[in-house]
Amino acid sequence: MRIVRVETLPVRIKREEAYLGSLPAEADDGAYFMRPPYRALYSAHFETAFVKITTADGVIGWGEALAPVAPEVVQQIIEQLLTPALLGRNPLDGNVLWNVMYDLMRERGYYGGFMLDAISACDVALWDLRGKILGRPVYQLLGGAYRERIPCYVSGLPRPTASERVALAQSFVASGFHAFKLAAGHGVREDTDSIATLRAALGDEATLLLDAHWVYALDEAVQLGHALAELDVGFFEAPINPEDLESHAQLAQAVAVPVAHGETERTRYQFRPWLMQKAADILQPDVGRAGISEVIKIGSMAEAFNVKMAPHLSVGLGICIAASIHTAAAIPNLYLLEYQPPVFEIANQLLDRPLVCRAGAYELPNAAGLGVALDERRLRELQA
């Protein structure tokens, strides 16, 4: 059982609504754009990079990197650096292959970013392959499922006004969802008021979360953190620049609301100091950036510190979502998994069988491997 082919498919799918709401006018030409106060680049498309690994016996494994911009970079890394290291290898050698890929550029300083995104896509595809070869769903290969329904939160509430966000949340409540994350970072007072409005409308039973997108300094984050604790917020995500470990540690010690961190990190090595310095109460690795193998190891490490996991899952499409569901099922210290309804809808259009998320939880696929495969014909139809 040997790997004979590794193919990468960078993808752009036109969308009507951006990740955080309506598209700005400058996005009409397809260029990347910025969305103040956030500092990252955003795209007018759903962008991702799929990988397809095939064995000599014709078994196919699908993977996906979280690549919201420049998916061709992931493609080039896989084609030029990772593929030569994978061809001819046994796909059952999971940990060996992860370390082989990681070591290729380790001494040159590439142990994060696009390099790890590319490794993660291949890692997911290798898990899918192993499941299909052995006739077992991935979660069983990971040690079994702690849960068959994966609790999730509705992410973002991308509406411009407080009343529209309340109405959107209430529409999900009517469908059985009771956990919501607000995409915030608009100032201490505005963020506090936005959460307070949601709390008043949804009541004490709703789980409310806030993502600040790294916009605050330590003093502002402490002020907001105290307000969020009084409003019984489940976690305060990405409050300060991700490089500032010390400020996060001070914040976590100063406020009662749990501090969440992790979508910027890729490996157990990067998460280790956050646990050692008690700088995060909830870790948020993304399977599309860390891979199944590494998220499981991060989860085990976090468990030793009595820290929960809330895997990040933003604009990854169907393969990434399926991989995240299997991984979340196998983590004992899971808090919640992220759910992006517009992304989920597009993702299902690309799959041979749809994933299911209803009444506040994902349903765990039970077929061999990830339980889904990419519909390449449909993918070509939707490409921008």
| Catalytic positions, written as ranges | 213, 312
Q: Tell me if 349 sits within 8 A of 15, measured CB to CB.
A: no
What's the rounded Cα separation, in Å, for the pair 201 and 155? 17
Q: Under a CB-based contact definition with an 8 Å cutoff, are residues 237 and 262 in contact?
A: no
CB-based contacts of 16: which residues, under 8 Å, 6+ apart?
23
State whether residue 209 is helix, strand or coil. Answer: strand
Distances in Å between the alpha carbon of 304 and those of 147, 180, 299, 332?
20, 28, 9, 11
Give which of 204, 156, 151, 196 is closest to 176, Cα–Cα: 151
CA distances from 315 to 356, 360, 362 (A): 17, 19, 16
CA nearest to 41, candidates 81, 70, 78, 82? 70
Give every CB contact of residue 18 below 8 A, 6+ residues apart in sequence: 24, 27, 35, 42, 44, 158
Residues 6+ apart with CB under 8 A from 360: 151, 152, 176, 177, 178, 179
**Residue of 86, 84, 79, 80 lying closest to 2 (CA atoms):** 86
